[in-house]
Structures are given as structure tokens and as C-alpha cells.
Amino acid sequence: MRPWLGAGKDIERLNALAEAAGIRTESGRPVRFTPPAARDPYYEVSVYETGRVATRPDNLHDWFNALAWLAFPRTKARINAMHAAAISAERGRRGRLRDLLTLFDEGGAIVACHDARLNGLIRAHDWKTLFWENRPAVRASMRFWVLGHAVLEKALDPWPGITCKAIFVPPRGDPDLHAAAWLRSLPLEATPRELAALPIFGYPGWLPESERAAFYEDARFFRGARA
């Protein structure tokens, strides 16, 4: 049982869990969730230098962000460290690597599957073949972990068009470690094109509509690959 699942929107409880797990930034600062102070244009640098993650007590977006830190501490710390390093080097001009990091942080998903054919269907945006025609194989062979806190918030009231930005990791081992390693391997010139689109609500059983083949023909949810 993951203890943070029952934490609720209680910052003291979230901090107790972060302390018990020894969660730290890559700068070595203990991660603590604190009420926001004045707006900081260099939020990621502040988190990296202090470990303080601004968290509004009654804000679902911030709450899911805190849960992502508890569930994927190494990945979140790596994203933060890469942002902080890029900000110090970009001289006011945001780079494409930071765009990638933001998309993954807000809408990221981790895909673990040993079947290269199924992974290929994601890259090809062949959603009906993947989620409908291969439903048993998807359930048996594919694991999805959603770490994007914006997507988790939107999942409470799903609407068409919500799409995760996914990475592929080995099927065995800790997905948090694998995702952090994937980020660490990125070159400085990496762009959001490194991420694969994944309409997460297509996973069999996530939405009631997924029990009908016609659902996977709805272009509002399932967009084809661009030319």
C-alpha cells in the first residue's frame, strides 16, 4: 500500500510522508510542501536551492504535484534539476529542453512494455488497433503510470483531447528510476518531439465509453499522426 494515497490535502501529512521517505532535491535539500510566498519567476531554481515546493492547501493542481513528488521522487528531482540548470544558462530565452520538461511534468506518462509491436502502435497513433483490437494484450503486457499532475487533475472531470506525453522504459524495475535515467540521457538540444502522444483515457476500462469500438473512432479523443 502506498502511504501517500491516503494523505488527503493535508500539508503536514504530506510533509511527514516526504520526510519519512527521505525525499530530496538533487541539490540535497529536503523536499517540503509550503504555502506559497510572493510569486517567484524562477520557481524551479527556488525549489532546487531550498527544497520548498509552493503548495496551496485547497488547490487540486498543487496537491497532485505534491503526490507526484511522493510517488516519483527521483523523476521530479531530475526534472527540477534540469530546469534549474537550463534557466541559469538560457539568459532569458527559454529553450526547447525546458518545453519538454514542462510537458512531461504537467502531462507525462511512463509506458513499460516488452512488446515492441504495441509500443509501435503508440508511436504510429494507431489508437483503435492498440486499445480495441489488442485489448487483451494491452491489459496483459502494458503498464502506464501517469505522473503529470495537470492530467491527474483533469482526469477528475475528463474532456476530449486530453493527451499525455509519454516515454518508454524497460518493463522490469522501478519506473521512477527508469524515467529519471531517461531524462538524464537527454542531450541539451532535446525538444518535445522526444515525447510520444498518448490519449490515456483510451486505456480499456478507464472510461465507460471505452467498451465500444466506435469510441476509438472519435477524433476528439484520438487524433491521428500529423503528416
Looking at the fold, whether 124 and 203 belong to one and the same domain comes out as yes
- Per-residue pLDDT band for 1 (boundaries 50, 70, 90) equals very low
Question: Is residue 83 a part of any domain in this protein?
Answer: no
Q: Does residue 195 sit in helix, strand or coil?
A: coil
Instruction: State residue 42's pLDDT score.
Output: 83
pLDDT in tens, 7-47: 556 889 999 999 999 999 999 999 999 988 877 668 899 99
In a domain, 87, yes or no: no
End residue of a domain, out of 71, 90, 119: 71
Q: Does residue 15 form part of some domain?
A: yes
CA–CA distance, 110 with 42 (Å, rounded to integer) = 27
Same domain, 135 and 198: yes
Domain range for residue 185? 102-217
DSSP string, 95-137: -HHHHHHHHHHHHEEEEE-S-HHHHHHHHTT-HHIIIIITHHH
The pair phi, psi for residue 42, each rounded to 5°, is: -115, 60
Q: Evaluate whether residue 141 is within a structural domain.
A: yes
158 and 115 both lie in a single domain: yes
Pair 144, 53 in one domain = no
Is there a domain that residue 24 lies in? yes
Q: Is 208 exposed, middle or buried (0-12, 13-18, 19+ CB in 10 A)?
A: exposed
pLDDT in tens, 49-107: 999 999 988 889 999 999 999 999 999 999 999 999 998 877 767 789 999 999 999 99
Number of domains in the chain: 2
Does any domain span residue 29?
yes
Please check whether residue 108 lies inside any domain of the structure: yes
CA proximity to 97, closest of 15, 180, 195, 181: 195
User: Which residue shows C-alpha cell 504537467?
Assistant: 106
Kindly give, in sequence order, each residue whose CB lies less than 8 Å from that of residue 154, ignoring residues fewer than 6 positions away. 162
CA proximity to 183, closest of 66, 70, 26: 26
Pair 106, 146 in one domain: yes
